[in-house]
Amino acid sequence: MPRPPVTNFLSDSIGLGGGGGDVPAPKLEIQYNGVSRESGSTLDLGAEPINTADGKTGTVTIKNTGTAAITLPGSPNIVALSGTDASLFTVTQPTSSNLPAGASVTFTLTFKPTTEGAKTATIKIQSSDAAVGSFQLNLTGTGGAAAPRLAVSVGATQIAANGSYGMGSVEIDSSGNAVTFTVRNTGSATANLDGPPAVTASPIGQFVLNLAGFPTSIAANDTATFTIQFSPTGTAEAKSSNIAVAYNSSLSFLFTVTGTATPKPVPTIAISHNSSSFTSGGSIPTFGVVWPTLTSSTKTVTISNTGTATMTGITLSKPSGHTGDFTISAFSGGTTLAAGASGTFTIQFAPSTTGARAAVVRVATTNGTNGTASSADLNVSGTGKTGADVLVSWTGTNEKAVNDTDGGYKVCYSKTSGFTAVHNGTTIFCADVPNSGGTTPVSKVISVPTFGDWYFKVYSYGKYNTIGGSPSAQTSAVNVPST
């Protein structure tokens, strides 16, 4: 009978297939120390001294890398242990026998030899993975002579050999809480210590060991403790030190302690006036010229704490100069200033006399410079005004010989109207305007000693009338401003 055409056969197959596609399936994968192992391969647990309390342990991971759940139907144990030296190996059973796609579970292997020499055993894991229905690993290990072996832990946290332990964050120039480290002899012979635990790498002073009562030897399965405090100094940064517990002349348990030094909260002072910085001191712009007995306008100085801790011991003083001519108000912030806060005080100039006047205003704190005492001197200055110029003019008289070499005018002035023109130097002042070379001026600039209303009279005098003629008409009051 002739064969059907191939094209018809393919067409029938496609019609019966119902659309095709991947079928979900489980996939078993076994890892030891993060490395995938094939069924039938050997795990070497290495050498272990005989009769240790803990033995040598390793972790095995069972993973389902497939797309459907996987079951582990082994009974009574998911992981079955057998073989010549099975009694020297123990298995901590996985906590689940059903793994969804992508899930995993672990169990622990322990090797505790009681005699020296090579030891072997086998573990088997049954699974619903059709490709690996029974997964087998061959175990080997070597029992060695009784020997010490040290391990270090903090509470329930075991520190791996050459591993590290984090001490957290501590402020610069402070000390963290003391952390207790437990040294245990997990071997089967006494560990004779070469010395107490020690820092083996700088910076040594960052981690402080308290070794009070630490023994010179640790018996098998016995413990000893010491503490470490993280006490950072210097710069704020990550810090670490190596710690060694040396024993039996050639052995050592090494680990690293780490910590982060954080900036220490400190106050930082800033001083300003009119948006200019005077944190390091300097000269405040002058108060200018001010009449004695008057007080200038105020100059405001701002003190700020730009740091991260409270600033304390804030004081204001006038240590030198014409201290009585300058007044300073109380600081609005009192004696302390919280981090980020500001306050102000004012300075005024009230000259007690004429001429240049100056003083020093000192701003001090007990901790304003990053935690240490600070002091800044502000130089203040002003001038006590000596007088104000007033131009007095008059019309020349016909007094006989006024324009002679012995003649002239007398300008008298006082703050009292209707005064008698007799110079006394305190309330009435007179100034001569003598003839000079045949020409007698008819004006004079008078410098009055104070501000306010001043009144003026002008007298002429001559060679034949030295007493002077009649005064000029009294000048209306001239107001000399106080500013």
Phi, psi of 155 (to 5 degrees): 60, -130
Is 478 within 8 Å of 429 (Cβ atoms)? Answer: no
Q: What is the mean pLDDT of the chain?
A: 89
In the prediction, which pLDDT does 409 show? 85
**Domain residue ranges of the chain, discontinuous segments joined by +:** 28-144, 150-262, 269-384, 388-480
**154 residue type, one letter:** V
> In whole angstroms, what is the distance from residue 379 CA to residue 435 CA?
49
Bigger pLDDT: 444 vs 421: 444
> Using one digit for the tens of pLDDT, what is the confidence trace for 18-72?
444 578 999 999 999 889 999 999 999 999 999 998 899 999 999 999 999 999 9
Per the CB < 8 A criterion, the answer to whether 220 and 188 are in contact is yes
| pTM exceeds cut of 0.75 | no
Query: Quick check: 1 pLDDT over 50?
Result: no
- Residue 9, classed as helix, strand or coil, is helix
CB 201, CB 241: distance < 8 Å? yes
Q: Percentage of the chain with pLDDT > 70?
A: 89
The pLDDT tens digits for 132-160 are: 999 999 999 999 999 999 999 999 999 99
Q: What is the pLDDT of residue 475?
A: 66
Identify the residue with better confidence: 350 or 22. Answer: 350
Token reading at 111: 């090797």
Residue pLDDT, tens place only, 321-347:
999 999 999 999 999 999 999 999 999
* Record: fold of 28-144: Immunoglobulin-like (2.60.40)
User: Averaged over 353-381, what is the pLDDT?
Assistant: 96
392, amino acid identity: V
Alpha-carbon gap, residue 39 to 124, rounded angstroms = 9
165, 256 in Cβ contact below 8 A?
Answer: yes
Q: Look at residue 248 and give its three-state secondary structure.
A: coil
Q: What is the pLDDT of residue 401?
A: 52
Residues 277-320 pLDDT 10s: 999 999 999 999 999 989 999 999 999 999 999 999 999 999 99
Percent of the residues in the chain that have a pLDDT greater than 90, as a whole number = 76
> pLDDT band at 6, cuts 50/70/90?
very low
In the chain the first and final C-alpha atoms are separated, in Å, by 134
Q: Which CATH class is domain 388-480?
A: mainly beta
**211-220, 244-253, 459-468: least confident range:** 459-468
CATH number of 269-384: 2.60.40.10
Q: Do domains 150-262 and 388-480 have the same CATH topology?
A: yes
150-262 topology per CATH = Immunoglobulin-like (2.60.40)
Q: List pLDDT tens digits, range 158-196.
A: 999 999 999 999 999 899 999 999 999 999 999 999 999
- Tokens 């759940």, residue located: 69
Instruction: Name the pLDDT band for 87 (thresholds 50, 70, 90).
Output: very high
- The three state secondary structure string of 143-184 is EECCCCCEEEEECCEEECCCCEEEEEEEECCCCCCCEEEEEE
Pick from 245, 229, 247, 84: nearest CA to 170: 229
